[in-house]
Amino acid sequence: MTWLDLNRSYAVDMLVQHVRLAVPAIAISVLVAVVLGRVAWRWPKVGTAVLGGASLLYSVPALPLLIVIPVVLGIPLRSGLTLIVALAVYGTALLAGTAADAFRSVDPRVREAAEAMGFSSMGLFWKVDLPLAVPVLLSGVRVITVSTVSLVTIGALVGIPSLGNLLTDGFQRGIREEILTGLIGTMLLAIVLDALLVATGAVLTPWRRTAEATG
């Protein structure tokens, strides 16, 4: 890996850029998808329309979406914001259905018990529904995290820097090690973020560990 020895600071720079693009896109996807999933769960008729629209959006190819977004929002094509918006649209489209499933997975008897104990509707959402929806929601978040980290690379094609630059630059200059560094770096980043999500999920659902321990 002589290429990496000589270009360590450049590679690290691109890794940092990659994280700065992927993490906000994933965070926005989760926030919007939870809201949409909640709406779809509460009002199933609206939900069908919303989820149908989401799956239609998901069928729009990524690179073209990257070209269309600057025109719609009036932002420069080469801005990181363009890529974040595009990936957030994708992530949301993929996650909204899972979020609705996550709320449906909450045992109605638990909700009734909480209501009987005098939880307000806000309290019910934050203290009962959302925590109990975490396991299903997390499975969806893991999927979009991996796909988002991988998709960030196409930004390099329109001039938004990330580990994808190692792929295009390596190809144009014929440096195999550079492409491999970008490829493996992207996959490692996905694996690290996925592991962080699994750890976060374990912290957010302490009752699952207790249930496992006591059988």
Partner 1 sequence: MSLFGDAIGWILDGAHWGGPSGIDTRILQHLAVTFAAVGIAAVLAIPLGVLIGHTGRGRLVVVALAGAVRAVPTLGLLTLLGLALGIGIEAPLLALVALGFPSLLAGAYAGVEAADAGAVDAARAVGMSEWQIVTRVEIPLGADVLLGGIRAATLQIVATATLAAYISDTGLGRYLFAGLKSRDYAQMLAGALLVAALALVLDLTLAALQRASRPTQGKVPS
Residue numbers at the binding site for partner 1 (CB under 8 A): 56, 59-65, 67-68, 71-72, 143, 146-147, 149-151, 153-154, 156-158, 164, 167-168, 170-171, 174, 176, 179-180, 182-183, 186-187, 190-191
Distance CA 155, CA 161 (A): 7
Residue indicated by tokens 């001039």: 159
Distance CA 23, CA 10 (A): 20
Please identify, using beta-carbon distances, which residue of 133 and 160 lies nearer to partner 1: 160
Please identify, using beta-carbon distances, which residue of 58 and 125 lies nearer to partner 1: 58
Please, are residues 4 and 180 in contact by the beta-carbon 8 Å criterion? no
Please identify, using beta-carbon distances, which residue of 174 and 215 lies nearer to partner 1: 174
Distance CA 143, CA 165 (A): 24
Minimum CB distance to partner 1, residue 145 (Å): 10
Minimum CB distance to partner 1, residue 23 (Å): 16
Using only the alpha carbons of the chain, give its radius of gyration. Answer: 20
Please identify, using beta-carbon distances, which residue of 31 and 60 lies nearer to partner 1: 60
